[in-house]
Amino acid sequence: MSGVPADRRWSSSMPEAYERYLVPVLFRPFAVDLAGRAAALRPRRVLELAAGTGVLTAELVVALPAAELVATDLNEAMVGYGRQRVPTASWRQADAQRLPFEDGSFDLVVCQFGAMFFPDRPAAFAEARRVLAPDGRLLFSTWGPIEEHGFDAAVQAAVAQVFHADPPEFLRTLPHGYHDPGQVSADLAGGGLALERHETVVLDGTAESAGAVATGFLTGTPLRAAVAERGGRPEDPALHAALAEEMTARLGEGPVTASMSAELFLARA
């Protein structure tokens, strides 16, 4: 992993923390929404990209009980976790830029909060187009600006306070770095797809505490490696306490609810 940038590093220990602290708060509200939109398209064969631990996968198998669902992720640890969590889906380790499927294999390709991490987005969109049937759709979401996401804005402010000389910019540059409809439309066109619909979706998430969210980011995302590169230890109680204190000051004590903004895109050939 030494040759992989810190902001793209995932280790085998991350999925459990990611699932425990972040999935219910940040991802499940949008997974329910996205699965409902997928079901409205009535696909028979569905491919999910960047499925992670399977939060959207679990909603898709409920919303589309008669559909064939293949869930993929680049990271083998995520695939292993997801396979245990949602065994009714077919799981494959796969690179979104080099999909191991035949042309025209799926009616719908769906991806929740994964497109931001594709190193070559037009190439990934071209692969999605290749595996789609002629009348198929690509349905995906990305996070909006970090300032419009209560939890992530608080995390970014906290790490900037602790690492003020060289704050990690993982959240701002990757998860929240791909939301401009013009750029997304151009990248889709580069992959042979046309943007059919764009919509901003705003939902609330609720966490048991601001400190729990800090734990999730420190131990369940690439922020872990970025912190380590700056001399911090993600498991250090003092580091966790410093981040939790700053986040609590922004979000409040005890169970906390915050608004989160995402961008939804529907594309076709």
Reduce the DSSP state of residue 184 to 3 states and report it. helix
Q: 31 Cβ partners below 8 Å, 6+ apart?
A: 55, 56, 58, 59, 112
* Closest to 114 (Cα-Cα) out of 71, 56, 175: 175
- State residue 13's pLDDT score: 62
Q: What is the band of 129 on the pLDDT scale with cuts at 50, 70, 90?
A: very high
- State residue 226's pLDDT score: 87
12 pLDDT more than 70: no
pLDDT per residue as tens digits for the range 219-234: 999 888 888 888 888 7
Model pTM score:
0.92
9 pLDDT more than 80: no
pLDDT per residue as tens digits for the range 19-69: 999 999 999 999 999 999 999 999 999 999 999 999 999 999 999 999 999
- State residue 216's pLDDT score: 94
pLDDT per residue as tens digits for the range 175-210: 999 999 999 999 999 999 999 999 999 999 999 999
**DSSP β-ladder status, 194-207 and 256-268:** antiparallel
70 pLDDT more than 80: yes
132 pLDDT more than 60: yes
> pLDDT averaged over the chain?
93
Token pair recorded at residue 103: 């042309």
154 pLDDT more than 70: yes
7 pLDDT more than 80: no
pLDDT per residue as tens digits for the range 78-87: 999 999 999 9
Element of type H or E holding 255: none
